[in-house]
Amino acid sequence: MHDIALFGATGFVGELTAEYLVAQAPPEARLAIAGRSADKLEALRQRLGRPELGVVTADSGDEESLRRLAESARVVISTVGPYVQYGEGLVAACAAAGTDYVDLSGEPEFVDLMYLRHHQAARASGARLVHSCGFDSVPWDLGVLYTVSQLPDDVPIAVRGFGATNATISGGTFHSAVNAMGRLKEAGRIARQRQSTERHAEDGRMASDRSVHGESLRPYREPLVGGWVVPVPTIDPQHVLRSARLDPVYGPDFTYAHLLVTRRLGRTVGLGLGVGAVATLAQLEPTRNLVLRLKSPGSGPSAERRARTFFRLRFVADYGESARRRRLITEVRGGDPGYGDTAKMVSECALSLAFGGESLPDRGGGQWTPALAFGLPLVDRLVRAGIEFAVVDG
């Protein structure tokens, strides 16, 4: 039995994840790499210089191979996307086998669909299913948890999360985003179905006496971050709000707004128009396929470019009653969010499940957000790994 098996190990992010795991896992850890090609896996094992690594051949379209993979490990990492196309088989296998599972999905439709189809099976088997364990959405979800953990839990809290980075979008993220744009109606239908299901579920009633909601803001100039800020429709605020609904540490009345920092509003508006054009092209399969050819899903920047890349998230929390409102500001800072630090984050999530023991929140099986699954012990792990969490004012 392997402690951690990495599915998609020979892809761009998969190789970075494999490198991090073999360097940072405890000496006693039993690791395996998994994918479609035994030859590529063997070549990777030789490059890593770790002949003791297990090798498991599995294909996203072969249910029996996914069952064997899930049953061979305590924790499975999946870096194989777009997840809405290739991800469900492994989630289903892990939910059935009682195997913990983490991935890099930033696709709301996929995450919602996996909740609807496999949450109850995972609760029964004890499998912890945790999506979005890379830059989407670990630093956001854990950054907000870190922030509210500094505050009293019996007062209203309003948090605005501001993100800045010089990273470029990865090939895998590009393909996931374009495919998601082509499925907006389906994604909306599934999201509504999940909301209805959660309202009637036991774990959805845990926070019924508390108010949790997102805040929609127009673009504005924010002195606290030194630039213009614009709302961004990513999966991150969905995870933050779900974490808040099920954890009383977020207070009796919690509000969250999610924003991107930009120095040049005009350029950002142009980018928004470009995204709108891509979304229009994504509605039809022929034009969507043309757009997808712009980036290879397995492509990525050079090591030199990644070394120059950074991210900085700032969380501004206003808390207390209106007459005595106070403010706390925190930051989460790191390096290359799309590749190096994403590999670091998903690895530390898997290591938490495999070796975190009693330090992790005791929530049992089911689909959980990163903050709910790992709690503040993951913050400690990430800090030791070189990602900064800090109070900067307040």
Residue-range domain boundaries for the chain: 2-134+340-381, 138-336+384-393
Counted residue by residue, the chain has a size of 394
As given in the structure block, the two tokens for residue 383 are 């800090």
Predicted confidence at residue 274, as pLDDT, reads 54
C-alpha 77/C-alpha 103 separation (Å) is: 6
Phi-psi region of 49 (alpha: psi -120 to 50; beta: other; left: phi over 0): left
Q: How far apart are CA 353 and CA 356, in angstroms?
A: 6
DSSP structural state of residue 339: T
Question: What integer pLDDT is reported at residue 236 of this predicted model?
Answer: 96
Side chain identity at residue 298, one-letter code: G
d(CA 298, CA 172): 6
Mean pLDDT by 10 residues, the chain (394 residues): 97 95 96 97 96 96 98 97 94 98 96 97 98 97 98 96 80 63 76 85 56 92 90 92 96 96 66 52 58 60 75 96 90 92 97 92 96 97 97 87
The predicted pLDDT at position 205 comes to: 47
Residue range 244-302, pLDDT digits in tens: 999 999 999 999 999 999 876 655 555 554 555 545 655 655 665 655 565 666 556 67
pLDDT in tens, 137-175: 999 999 999 999 999 999 999 999 999 887 766 666 666
Which residue is listed with tokens 């496999």? 118
What does the block give as tokens for 370? 């990163």
Q: Which SS3 state, helix, strand or coil, does residue 130 take?
A: strand
Q: In the CATH scheme, what architecture does the domain 2-134+340-381 have?
A: 3-Layer(aba) Sandwich (3.40)
Backbone φ, ψ for residue 14 (5° rounding): -60, -45
* Cβ atoms < 10 Å from Cβ of 214: 15
What per-residue confidence (pLDDT) applies to 354? 97
pLDDT of amino acid 176: 60
d(CA 115, CA 129): 9
* Cα–Cα distance measured from residue 267 to residue 129, given in angstroms and rounded to the nearest whole number: 38
| pLDDT for 207 | 47
Helix (H) or strand (E) holding 141: helix 138-148
Q: Which two tokens stand for residue 299?
A: 């492509």
pLDDT at 181: 62
